[in-house]
Structure 1
């Protein structure tokens, strides 16, 4: 995880112009899309997943797996791509995952994932863009 500073800074007007309503709700207002509704839940193509807010590389398809949680799940983020913080909303205590580059909300990470990390990054599909071009990696 990255504890570094955000490298993408936009004001709220710029975010609203750049993002769809649903992207804004999830990325900037810490929203969550409905279970099993996201574009990437059952997505199995080779490539990388980038932040929908800034385009930063977040996850590689090799780390994606079917967890049954209803959101795309990964056992590892790319080095330095995400930050985490405690989330005590909705009467729960969870670990929130945010983009290290633009501080957008991506989802949550849990300690019940597969080897080799034991992590389950549950990430909103709307928070990501899939890139299948190996030149972009």
Structure 2
């Protein structure tokens, strides 16, 4: 994972006011203010629907359902993004004494969740992308 600066320019840029018009208050709190939805409350936590998960803010495709797995953490978990450049990684030191790696949409910079690695996940990448359901929109493969 390559960490990128948080002040980069994105292909989808909006002001906070424009984001507030485009997103619900809860979506804005997570996507634009790096909030977190409560565990086991998101609409995609237990979803088995085949399709592609896109950024709820800008529509960029982020994760394939084939990489989703049940990690029992309370949020949708994926072992890999759809494409290597679809997400970006930022150092997150918001929890004292517990540095994490934040995952953002590379198209609009919206907060998606965090990625954890080396914790013994039985996945091809040994990674868990712990993503907020409210940050995603599922596009089912069947239409």
What band does the TM-score fall into relative to the shorter chain?
Answer: over 0.9
> Are positions 1:24 and 2:28 aligned together?
yes
TM-score by length of 2: 0.89
Query: In structure 1, how many angstroms separate the alpha carbons of the residues matched to 2:100 and 2:122?
Result: 18
Q: How many residues align?
A: 135
Residue in structure 2 matching 1:89, options 80, 94, 104: 94
Question: Could you tell me whether the CA contact under 8 Å between 1:5 and 1:100 is conserved in 2?
Answer: no
Question: Could you tell me whether the CA contact under 8 Å between 2:50 and 2:141 is conserved in 1?
Answer: no
Question: Could you tell me whether the CA contact under 8 Å between 1:50 and 1:57 is conserved in 2?
Answer: yes
Which blocks of at least 5 consecutive residues in structure 1 are unaligned? none
TM-score by length of 1: 0.93
CA offset at residue 134 of structure 1? 6.0
> Are positions 1:46 and 2:50 aligned together?
yes
34-43 vs 4-13, which moves further: 4-13
Question: Could you tell me whether the CA contact under 8 Å between 1:75 and 1:114 is conserved in 2?
Answer: no
**Cα-Cα RMSD:** 1.7
